[in-house]
Chains A and B, each alone.
Chain A
Amino acid sequence: MLLIDREGSATEAWTRADGAAIGNLSHALVGWDALPEALDQKSSDQKIGVLVPNSLPSEALKPFFDQLALVAIGFPAFADGRGFSLAKVLRREGFRGTLRASGPLIPDQFDYAIACGFDEIELPEASASRQSALQWQQARGRLSRTYQRGYTRDGNILDRRRLARAAANSPAG
C-alpha cells in the first residue's frame, strides 16, 4: 500500500477496524455497514473514518459528516469515475474532513482527484509497485491550467481571462 498526498508519499495514520470493533484505535477506519455501531462506541479522543462504495448516495453520508474525520471512497477500477462525482458532491454538501480515493488510480488522475476535492490517494500494492510516489508528483500540474470553474484548482483559464478583462477595463494608473 502507498499513501500519497499533495506533498508526496504520506504516512498512514489509520487502522482498518475489524467490523465495528474499534477498540482503542486512535484512528479507526470502518466499513460503511459498521459505521453506526462504531460511532456508538467512539470515545471523545478517537477519530473515525469510513470506507464507502462509490455508488453511495451523498445524502446517506451527510448526517455523519460532523463525526467523521475521514471518508475514503472506493475506486473498484481506475476507469470507474463515479468517485470523482461523489467527492465533488460531498464537498459541496459540506464535508470538511479528509477525503481519500482508495483504489488502483493512475498518476494521470491525481490532478483530477484533487480538483474534485480529494486530499489523498491510497494505492494498492500492485499499483504502487509500478508507479512510484515520484511519478505521482511529476504528474501533478502537467496541464498547467485547465478550463473548468468551480473545482479545487488555482487560476482556471476562465477566471484568468476574467481578470485580464477586468485589468483591461480598469482606468489607467
Chain B
Amino acid sequence: MYRYDEFDERFVRDRVAQFSDQVARRLDGSLTEDEFKPLRLKNGVYLQLHAYMLRIAVPYGTLSSKQMRQLALIGERFDRGYGHFTTRQNLQFNWPKLRDVPEILGLLADVEMHCIQTSGNCIRNVTADHFAGVAQDEIEDPRPVCELIRQWSTAHPEFSYLPRKFKIAATGAQHDRAVTKAHDIGLRIVRHPDSGEIGYEISVGGGLGRTPMIGKVVRDFLPKPDLLAYLEAIMRVYNQEGRRDNKYKARVKILVHEIGTEEFRSRVEAEFATLDGPSVNADPEELARIEAYFAPPAYETLPRESAALAAARASNPAFDRWAGTNLTPHRADGYSAVTISLKPIGLAPGDATSEQMRVIADLAERYSFDELRVTHAQNIVLPHVRQDDLHAIWEALVPAGLATANSGLITDIIACPGLDYCALATARSIPIAQAIQQRFEDAERQTEIGELNIKISGCINACGHHHVGHIGILGLEKRGIESYQITLGGDATENAAVGEILGPGLPAEEVPGAIEAIVGVYEAERNDGERFIETVKRVGLSPFKAAFKELSHAAD
C-alpha cells in the first residue's frame, strides 16, 4: 500500500499545525464561528447532536495493521472505546473533545493518516472498490489513480470553496462495487475497444441525497495521462457554474440536470481544450511511482483449491456457513478475500470496538500481508488470505464477535448513524436495522433468502444510500412521529438504479413486518436461483405494492 514520502509527511504535519493555529484564532475571536466552520469541517470536525464528531479519512478504504491499531488507541483514549465505519469507507469517532482534536490529528499523522477534506464543500476522500487488486474481474487496480487524485485534490487552491461537497469514486472492475454512478464523479478504468489501451470512463452528476440521480458518462475514454487536466476542467465548470443560491441545488448533479449532459460535456471539453495539459498533468512517472506501492504482495504458489479448507468446512457447519457467505474469490490460486462482518445481530451497523480493531489488525498482520480494507457496506476485509488459514482466522473471529456469517445477506444492513447521533437526522436508523436483524436472525432463513441489500437513511440526505438499496428505508418525521418510507428496486452496481416508493410511510414498529411481506412476495415469485433484485426487475413492483397495501390496511 501507499507510503508517504517526505513531502506527504511534511504536508500532514503542516496541516496539523495550521489547524491548531486556526483553533487559536477562533478562540481569540479573530475568526467568527461562520469563518471557522469550513476550516474545522475540512479537518473532519463536525458539531453533532450531543458532541463533536471526528471523521478520519481512510483513502480508498485501505488500511495497514499499524493504522488500525492507532485507530483502536484513539478510540480508547479519546472516545468511548469504539469507532464507526461509514459508507464512504471512513471512520468516525462520535465523542472526542474539541480540545483533543489537534492531539488526535498528530497521532494520525504518526501513522500516515489524516482527517483532511472528510467534510466541507470541497473534494472529499476518494473511495474505491474494496476488492481492488484482488477481484478477478479487474482490468487494473484503481487505488493508484485514487491516490493521485487524493494528492491533487488536497488543499486545492482553486477548488476548496465549491458550491457544495464533491465525491469521487473509482473502480477498475467490470462489476461496480464502488457505487461509482452515485458519485459526483465516477471513474471506471476501461480498455479502449480498438487499441486495447487502458484509460478512464468518466461519469458526472450522480448522487443520492434529496434528489437522487445516476451519473452520466461525459467521456467514454480518457487517456490516462490527461486525467488531472480533465478533472480540472470539470471542477472549473462546476465551481463557476454550479448553483450557489440554494444549498439543496448546489451539487453538480443539479447543474448537469439543468443544462443537460450534452451542454455540460461541451463546456467541460471546451475548457479542457484550452488547458495546457503538460503543465497540469502528473508525469506518467509519478503515477508509476504510486503504482509501485500497490504491486501485488508475494503470494505463495498454491493449488487452486485448499484441501484443508474443504476438510474444515465438511466437519464444522458454523464455519461452513461463514465460509459460504463471507469469502470472495481471489485472483491468486489458493487465496480468498475475507469479509469480516460488522453487522452482528442487534448491534449498530459499522461499529467496532478498540478490542475488535486490534483483533482484526493482528489477523491482517499474520494472515493478510498486513493489509485491510473498509467497505462502503461498513464491513472490513482481509484481502489476501491463504485458504489454508481460513479456519484459524474464523476461530479467532468467533470469540471477538466478528464471525457473523451474513455478508451480502438481509442482515448485512447499511445504516447511517441517524437520530441517535446525527444533528441532521429526522428519524432513528440504527434501531430499525437492529429490529430487522432480529426478525431475520435465523441463519437458515437468511441463506434461503440469499443476496439482499437493505439500506437505511435517517433523513433525506441519504448517507445510508437507501435509494440504491434493493430495499431502501428512509426515516422521516411527520408531526413529531417517525415515519419510514420504503423503496424497492434500487441497485448500487453497474446496473445502478434508484428504488421506487412502495406506499405510504410506516411507523417504526411496522417496518420489520413490511420487510417480511416484501421477502414473502419474492419467495413466492422467484425462479430457481434468482436473486431478489433479479426477481424485482423481472416481475416489477405491482405484486410488492399489493402486499404492501394489504399490510397498511391491516394496520389501519
Partner of A81, one of B22, B29, B31, B239: B239
Nearest-Cβ distance from residue B495 to partner chain A, whole angstroms: 35
B236: chain A residues at CB < 8 Å are: 85, 88-89
Asked if B30 lies at the interface with its beta carbon under 8 angstroms from chain A, I say yes
Partner of B157, one of A89, A116, A157: A116
Chain B 1-44 residues near chain A, CB threshold 8 A = 5, 7-8, 10-11, 14-15, 17-18, 21-22, 25, 29-32, 35, 38-39
Asked if A65 lies at the interface with its beta carbon under 8 angstroms from chain B, I say no
Q: Are A84 and B161 in contact (CB under 8 A)?
A: yes
Q: What is the bound-complex CA distance between A79 and B154, given in angstroms?
A: 17
Chain B 134-162 residues near chain A, CB threshold 8 A = 151-152, 154-162
Given known contacts A86-B240, A108-B39, A142-B21, A79 and B11 CB-to-CB distance under 8 angstroms: no
Asked if B274 lies at the interface with its beta carbon under 8 angstroms from chain A, I say yes
Asked if A34 lies at the interface with its beta carbon under 8 angstroms from chain B, I say no
**Proximity string of chain B (280-322) to chain A, C-beta cutoff 8 Å, 1 when within and 0 when not:** 1111011001000000000000000000000000000000000
**Proximity string of chain B (152-193) to chain A, C-beta cutoff 8 Å, 1 when within and 0 when not:** 101111111110000000000000000000000000000000
B17: chain A residues at CB < 8 Å are: 142
Chain B 119-133 residues near chain A, CB threshold 8 A = 121
Nearest-Cβ distance from residue B20 to partner chain A, whole angstroms: 10
Interface 9-residue window, one of A8-16, A18-26, A36-44, A144-152: A144-152
Asked if B542 lies at the interface with its beta carbon under 8 angstroms from chain A, I say no
Q: What is the bound-complex CA distance between A148 and B151, given in angstroms?
A: 8
Asked if B276 lies at the interface with its beta carbon under 8 angstroms from chain A, I say yes
Given known contacts A81-B161, A116-B158, A106 and B31 CB-to-CB distance under 8 angstroms: yes
Asked if B366 lies at the interface with its beta carbon under 8 angstroms from chain A, I say no
Nearest-Cβ distance from residue B17 to partner chain A, whole angstroms: 7
Q: What is the bound-complex CA distance between A86 and B7, given in angstroms?
A: 29
Nearest-Cβ distance from residue A66 to partner chain B, whole angstroms: 20
**Proximity string of chain A (109-152) to chain B, C-beta cutoff 8 Å, 1 when within and 0 when not:** 10111011000000000000011100100110011111111110
A150: chain B residues at CB < 8 Å are: 232, 276, 279-280
B38: chain A residues at CB < 8 Å are: 79
Q: Are B274 and A161 in contact (CB under 8 A)?
A: no
Query: Which residue of chain A has the shortest Cβ distance to B14 in the bound complex?
Result: A143
Chain B 183-235 residues near chain A, CB threshold 8 A = 228, 232
Q: Are A146 and B11 in contact (CB under 8 A)?
A: yes
Nearest-Cβ distance from residue A53 to partner chain B, whole angstroms: 12
Partner of B162, one of A81, A130, A142: A81
Asked if B244 lies at the interface with its beta carbon under 8 angstroms from chain A, I say yes
Given known contacts A82-B240, A162-B283, A145 and B157 CB-to-CB distance under 8 angstroms: no
Nearest-Cβ distance from residue A56 to partner chain B, whole angstroms: 10
Q: Are A78 and B35 in contact (CB under 8 A)?
A: yes
Q: Are B10 and A144 in contact (CB under 8 A)?
A: yes
Q: Are A147 and B154 in contact (CB under 8 A)?
A: yes
Nearest-Cβ distance from residue B244 to partner chain A, whole angstroms: 6
B159: chain A residues at CB < 8 Å are: 81, 84
Q: Are B7 and A153 in contact (CB under 8 A)?
A: no
Query: Which residue of chain A has the shortest Cβ distance to B153 in the bound complex?
Result: A147
Chain A 30-65 residues near chain B, CB threshold 8 A = 55
**Proximity string of chain A (62-92) to chain B, C-beta cutoff 8 Å, 1 when within and 0 when not:** 0000000000000000111110111011001
Q: Are A80 and B244 in contact (CB under 8 A)?
A: yes
B39: chain A residues at CB < 8 Å are: 108
Q: Which residues of B contact A (CB under 8 A)?
A: 5, 7-8, 10-11, 14-15, 17-18, 21-22, 25, 29-32, 35, 38-39, 121, 151-152, 154-162, 228, 232, 236, 239-240, 244, 274, 276, 279-283, 285-286, 289
Q: Which residues of A contact B (CB under 8 A)?
A: 55, 78-82, 84-86, 88-89, 92, 106-109, 111-113, 115-116, 130-132, 135, 138-139, 142-151, 153, 157-158, 160-162, 165
Having A82-B240, A106-B35, one finds 16 other A-B pairs with CB under 8 Å, namely A80-B244, A84-B239, A111-B157, A112-B160, A116-B158, A130-B31, A142-B17, A143-B11, A147-B152, A148-B156, A150-B232, A150-B276, A150-B279, A151-B157, A157-B11, A158-B282
Pull 17 A–B residue pairs with CB atoms less than 8 Å apart, ordered by A.
A55-B240, A79-B121, A79-B161, A81-B159, A84-B161, A108-B18, A109-B161, A131-B30, A131-B31, A138-B21, A143-B15, A145-B11, A148-B152, A149-B228, A149-B279, A158-B282, A158-B283
